[in-house]
Structure 1
Amino acid sequence: MSFTEHDAAGVAILMWAADPSQPERLATPLFLAAAAAAMDVPVEIYFTAASVHLLVPAVAARLRASPRVDKAIADNLREAVEMGARLFACSDALQAQGLDAAMLMPGCGRGGAVQFMARAIDLRWRTLVF
């Protein structure tokens, strides 16, 4: 099977426990998103709870997954988006975290529990939770 031959309609990734307080947990889900998108698989990343802070460019720019890596989490996000991943911020999480949608990186859509659950119950989609 080649990388582009698959039965999945897409991959939905939920960023929940992966938030700015533990930057070492942030690179892996974004690497996986970029890899799936590079394989021509539609990718949607849903940010909820404190993870919505990652969509604020200044926050993601100052975070590193490791002190030995010079690459910022903002770079990982940018690469995933350049490969085709779509980003969604939970409106309720934005409100709970005191963030305004205007603060988020360009192109970030709104999507929360209903949209993610629609993907999770669709047997053609794969879901990952971080």
Structure 2
Amino acid sequence: MTEPKGLAILICSPGVDRPDLCVTPLVHALVARAMDCEVEVHFAGPAIRWLVEGVSDARYPTPAREKPIRAFIEEAAASGVRLLACSMARSAWVADGERLVPECAGAVGAAAFVARTLDPAWGTMVF
């Protein structure tokens, strides 16, 4: 059996109105990095809005509002998680003049995540 090299996570469902659904994949990414796993988080569809500058700053995943989604994004990037924006989603969901957070490592096409699902050295999760 091939030893896993990395974990690719696709966040495509949780829109900015559901921070409670966005935090789980970010926590899983942090845990995988703590296990010395290479990790990519691909943001696609309306979930790409989480990477738009200012959007995640005041969105909290719990009623107690301990930590905004932005803090999880910063923590993930600081730990070495590669945060990637789907290029097609960016065209559809990010307006001209809007910028992505500096933690975003770049844009990739859908083929990048599909390639990870086909690579036996990578595990994948979809949220």
TM-score scaled by length of structure 2: 0.91
In the other structure, the counterpart of 2:109 is: 112
> How does 1:49-128 map onto structure 2 within 5 Å?
49-100=45-96, 103-108=99-104, 109-128=106-125
In the other structure, the counterpart of 1:27 is: 23
Identity %: 38
Aligned residues: 125
Q: Following TM superposition, by how much is the alpha carbon of 1:100 offset from its aligned partner in structure 2, in angstroms?
A: 4.7
C-alpha change, 1:39 and 1:101, in structure 2 (3 Å) is farther
Cα deviations by residue, 1:39-72 (Å, 9 ceiling, x for unpaired): 1100000000011110013101111001213200
Segments of 4+ moved more than 4 angstroms? none
TM-score scaled by length of structure 1: 0.89
Classify the secondary structure of the residue corresponding to 2:40. Answer: strand
Cα deviations by residue, 1:12-63 (Å, 9 ceiling, x for unpaired): 0000112212111011110110111121100000000011110013101111
Which range moved further: 94-103 or 74-83? 94-103
> Gaps spanning 5+ residues in structure 2: where?
none
Q: Following TM superposition, by how much is the alpha carbon of 1:101 offset from its aligned partner in structure 2, in angstroms?
A: 8.5
C-alpha change, 1:104 and 1:86, in structure 2 (3 Å) is same
- Contact kept? 2:52, 2:94, Cα under 8 Å: no
Letter in 2 for 1:71: K
Q: Following TM superposition, by how much is the alpha carbon of 1:107 offset from its aligned partner in structure 2, in angstroms?
A: 4.2
Larger fraction in strand: 2
RMSD of aligned C-alpha atoms?
A: 1.7
Letter in 2 for 1:31: V
Q: 1:10 & 1:64 partners in 2: Cα distance?
A: 28
In the other structure, the counterpart of 1:39 is: 35
Q: 2:87 & 2:50 partners in 1: Cα distance?
A: 14
In the other structure, the counterpart of 1:3 is: none
